Chain A
Amino acid sequence: MKELKFDTLVIGGGSAGMAAALEVSKRGFSVAVVERENSMGGILNQCIHNGFGLHHFNEELSGPAYAEKFIDMVESSNIKVFLDMTVMDMEETGDMKYVYGMSGKTGMIKFCVKTVIFANGCRERNRGSIGTPGTRPSGVFTAGLAQRLVNMEGYIPGKECVIVGSGDIGLIMARRMTWVGAKVKAVIEIQPYPAGLTRNIVQCLNDFNIPLYLSHVVGDIHGKDRVESIDVIPLKNGVEQKDKSFNIICDSLLLAVGLVPDNELAQKIGISINPETNGPIVDRQLMTGKNGIFACGNVLHVHDLVDFVTEESERCGKYAADYMDGKTFSDQYRTVPGQNIKYLVPNFYSPHRDNKFYLRTMIVKNRAELIVSVNGKEIFSKKLKHIQPSEMISFSILEDTVGAEIISECRNNTLEVKIV
């Protein structure tokens, strides 16, 4: 078995992995990226629609075009990329990490590295995750799989579709299926409000007269061999109104019911997971509970926009380089999500450094206020025009915002964030 030494191994060559690897490499460290597909870019490669890069590049790009910009940078750097390679296992002794990656071309390679960055993204929730009852015919696809079949392979998985979930993936697929000649008969959303961006509701549903059923769920799937129809049940105050259920004839059901960070390997080596995000618990430097092991992008928490993934991952790359330069900070305290907050990343902050936070709220509200306090004393607040669970919120607490008079050795110095 071949052994290779690098300073850093990045698991995943999508938007997160490429951004992190580039930053580590810029600091003069040797970096390897392991990617299981035959090209870098990750899920961007199948997202052929526009809307990427408005924040990061100040221009509107397709997914592959956004990826291409990073692929070019990686290819002109010293980063060593291993394509078609799957990480099979990982272990650590002292400061060294050993990662086993495998491909047909290379056989099994043992990577001996100082730092590992998890950047391997998320997977889709599926029928099992949402417990949809009924028969188990062919024709039930996750939206991402359907997107790959259509955009990468040119296969059309059905002619009469119903889409479950009005998140952006569901909306984009409603338009995509229409464009390839399928009839999209309905988009079903369990919440009383759409989960996706407003621009996508307009451009993907309204422009094609696709009905959106808010506060509805799929009751049953019918069909022995292939999907023949589904039952749709309206909700009233969150309760199923079974007497008002109706049937939609269709040959396929596309499930766009959320994403889950893919953390099996991290869990296997004993990294603690935040049950709210399904991503690792990380400190201010996005380092997991294990020294030298970092996480960024959708494997840490599911992001709305790739631009945010890039921002977070570039920081992660810098932090990993800082760690190898011996710059670590012991003056870190916990962060906790308070009122109306679903989760907050990272799980620690440092009062003497800049801290960047991403969070999701649990409520829909206009004119809300985000309030940050330490030891019960408000240190920062921010007005928010409109908030909803599907839109990630970010804010920064800069160096010395938390004054020396607030931090106390006899208090826990926890930073609490709430939205009112």
Chain B
Amino acid sequence: MSKIIFDIAIIGAGVVGAAIARKLSSYNLEIALIEKECDVSFGVSKANSGIIHGGFHHGSEYLKSKLEVQGNRMFDQLEQELHFPFRRCGIIVAAFSIEEMKTVEQLYLNGIANKVVGIEMCNRSRMLSLEPKLNTDVVGGLYAPAGGIIEPYRFVFSLVESALKNGVKLFTEFKVVSAEHNSEGYTVISENGNIVHSKWAVNASGLFADEISNIFNAEKFKITPRKGEEFLLDRNSAARTEHVVFPVPDHVSKGILIIPTVEGTTMLGPTAIPQDSKEDVSTTSVNLGMVFSSARRMVPSISQRDIITSFTGLRPVLESGDFYIDISKKQKHFIQVAGIQSPGLTAVPAIAEYVKDLVKKDGLILTEKSSYDPDIEKLPRMRTLNPEEADVLIQDDPSFGEIVCRCESVSEAEIVAAVKHGHTTLDGIKFYTRAQMGRCQGGFCTDRIIKIVQRETGLRYEDITKRGKDSWLIEDRIGDIKVNSYGSVE
């Protein structure tokens, strides 16, 4: 077989790598998208808060502010092309003292400087009419109607699906351990011995961007993970707000938010605690109390009774606090895209444009691909259909009538679609379909999903995992072991 030399290899299939891959797939290029996990969006992106930010948190001196405002405006078109759940529900910042109102005013000025459309200062009664569930102690605040919410993993899945449709090659379970540069370009080698050759490389490896930069012998910098714990509340929670509700931020983070997720649950968080480990995504009991008391200060009806799950995400933070997106000054044809923490998700469509301009500047020839198709197929979701629409769909394909996940009304057809799109782990299926994401957390549907995956893929039960590697589910099968009448294994 002849050796394929890709024009460009993008390291990391989180939201940043996926958006860059899709953007570049509109040009006549051979593109490799490389991911160390067994599925895309399994790193930082899966535990993102899903907020499309309003462009007022940071001053105009930051690159991230510029890209945030640009990126925000690009989501309507992306939604039309890629069909991920997205809603411009608006963002409010609630102040509870005159001092806090001074910070709010600064945020407002940031927004004006960043050219945010529609941003406004609100007095107490306007805040309460916008968001009746707010604590009546509210003094005033800020309203940014262009802010919104998305499902971050679905966004990544759609970006990757679009990229693949336009010719990008995806390499999963490809943990980069070495990269050599010679006259032909890079030879990138994975832990399990696979090789990708490419002329350019993009470092979009999130928490591991510092390590990848070292492997490529490029700039030295340090990514510090900043832990964010989130708590998810039931759909029926009385505390679900209309808008994303922010407290007045402090110097470290944007604070504990109340997020009415686009799919109907309510999320509280994230905390912001720096740590050394890039792997430790454990939750703690200490933070639960802190998150709830912070959130309840803004919306008193929030109740711990409504928790259905909690999880942790890690933000990849650089010392500068800004994004680092540039052509490497040390290594040839190497593009750094590091430190993409909040508002990275919002900025990502603009980051992709920015990186496209950088690679062009660095000499990569970009000619538009005539066959480029920005649209992906829109998959029906049972929970969004009225009874008549559902009936029509079932007549066409009965598997839409078989509900697998009762809490989130996910049909067998949707699970099968997830598998057909390459999401064969329980978590991959969860992020693609929402099955197991509701109030029973997979209690009723896990066994059904295992059976469907087996049927569709031919995988053996012991090969089905929660999220790849050693996250196996089933140890054994009855009949494979012998047990005596006293309950001991013979």
List chain A positions with a Cβ less than 8 A from chain B: 1, 36, 84, 86, 88-89, 100, 102-108, 110, 123-124, 126-129, 131, 133-139, 141-142, 144-145, 148-150, 152-159, 175, 178-182, 208, 220-221, 224-226, 251-252, 264, 267
The minimal Cβ–Cβ distance linking B293 to chain A, given in whole angstroms, is 15
A267–B236 CB distance below 8 A? yes
B479–A154 CB distance below 8 A? yes
23 examples of A-B residue contacts, CB within 8 angstroms: A86-B403, A86-B409, A88-B387, A88-B403, A102-B401, A108-B388, A127-B441, A128-B232, A128-B308, A131-B288, A131-B304, A133-B288, A135-B282, A136-B311, A137-B471, A138-B473, A145-B443, A153-B450, A157-B475, A180-B481, A225-B467, A225-B471, A264-B235
The minimal Cβ–Cβ distance linking A273 to chain B, given in whole angstroms, is 9
Binary contact track B450-479/A, C-beta < 8 Å → 1, others 0 = 110000000001000111111111111111
| A154-B478, A225-B466 given; 15 more Cβ-contact pairs under 8 Å | A1-B388, A86-B403, A102-B403, A108-B390, A110-B387, A126-B441, A133-B288, A135-B282, A136-B312, A144-B443, A145-B447, A149-B474, A152-B447, A158-B475, A181-B481
Nearest opposing residue in chain A for B394, CB measure: A107
B283 at the interface (CB under 8 A from A): yes
B319 at the interface (CB under 8 A from A): no
A153–B447 CB distance below 8 A? yes
Binary contact track B155-167/A, C-beta < 8 Å → 1, others 0 = 0000000000000
Instruction: Using A123-B440, A179-B487 as known contacts, say yes or no to A157 and B398 having CB atoms under 8 A apart.
Output: no
Complex: A221 Cα to B284 Cα, angstroms: 10
B217 at the interface (CB under 8 A from A): no
Complex: A126 Cα to B412 Cα, angstroms: 24
Nearest opposing residue in chain B for A106, CB measure: B401
Complex: A175 Cα to B390 Cα, angstroms: 44
Which residues of the other chain, A, contact B446 by a CB distance below 8 angstroms? Answer: 141, 145, 149
B283–A134 CB distance below 8 A? yes
Nearest opposing residue in chain B for A126, CB measure: B441
Main secondary structure of the interface of A (DSSP, over half): mixed
The minimal Cβ–Cβ distance linking A362 to chain B, given in whole angstroms, is 18
Binary contact track B202-232/A, C-beta < 8 Å → 1, others 0 = 0000000000000000000000000000001
B434 at the interface (CB under 8 A from A): no
Indicate the size class of the contact surface on chain B: 35 or more
B471–A138 CB distance below 8 A? yes
B59 at the interface (CB under 8 A from A): no
The minimal Cβ–Cβ distance linking A96 to chain B, given in whole angstroms, is 16
Nearest opposing residue in chain A for B280, CB measure: A135
The minimal Cβ–Cβ distance linking A149 to chain B, given in whole angstroms, is 6
Nearest opposing residue in chain B for A228, CB measure: B470
B285 at the interface (CB under 8 A from A): yes
Determine which residue in B308, B391, B443, B479 has the highest number of CB atoms from chain A within 10 A of its CB, and name it.
B443
B130 at the interface (CB under 8 A from A): no
Which residues of the other chain, B, contact A159 by a CB distance below 8 angstroms? Answer: 475-476
Instruction: Using A149-B474, A180-B483 as known contacts, say yes or no to A129 and B465 having CB atoms under 8 A apart.
Output: no
Complex: A136 Cα to B479 Cα, angstroms: 30
Which residues of the other chain, B, contact A103 by a CB distance below 8 angstroms? Answer: 401-402
Complex: A53 Cα to B407 Cα, angstroms: 31
Which residues of the other chain, B, contact A180 by a CB distance below 8 angstroms? Answer: 478, 481, 483
B88 at the interface (CB under 8 A from A): no
Which residues of the other chain, A, contact B470 by a CB distance below 8 angstroms? Answer: 224-226
Q: Which of the residues A89, A104, A144, A226 comes within 8 Å of B387, measured between beta carbons? A: A89
Q: Which of B357-411 contact A (CB under 8 A)?
A: 382, 387-388, 390-391, 394-395, 398-403, 406-407, 409
Which residues of the other chain, B, contact A128 by a CB distance below 8 angstroms? Answer: 232, 307-310, 441
Which residues of the other chain, B, contact A142 by a CB distance below 8 angstroms? Answer: 441, 443
The minimal Cβ–Cβ distance linking B176 to chain A, given in whole angstroms, is 20
The minimal Cβ–Cβ distance linking A242 to chain B, given in whole angstroms, is 11
Binary contact track B300-332/A, C-beta < 8 Å → 1, others 0 = 000010011111100000000000000000000
Complex: A165 Cα to B306 Cα, angstroms: 21
Which residues of the other chain, B, contact A251 by a CB distance below 8 angstroms? Answer: 475
B281 at the interface (CB under 8 A from A): yes
B99 at the interface (CB under 8 A from A): no
Complex: A19 Cα to B380 Cα, angstroms: 37
Complex: A138 Cα to B450 Cα, angstroms: 14
Nearest opposing residue in chain B for A221, CB measure: B282
Instruction: Using A107-B395, A138-B472, A145-B446 as known contacts, say yes or no to A131 and B403 having CB atoms under 8 A apart.
Output: no
B483–A179 CB distance below 8 A? yes
Which residues of the other chain, A, contact B235 by a CB distance below 8 angstroms? Answer: 264
The minimal Cβ–Cβ distance linking A215 to chain B, given in whole angstroms, is 17
Which residues of the other chain, B, contact A144 by a CB distance below 8 angstroms? Answer: 443
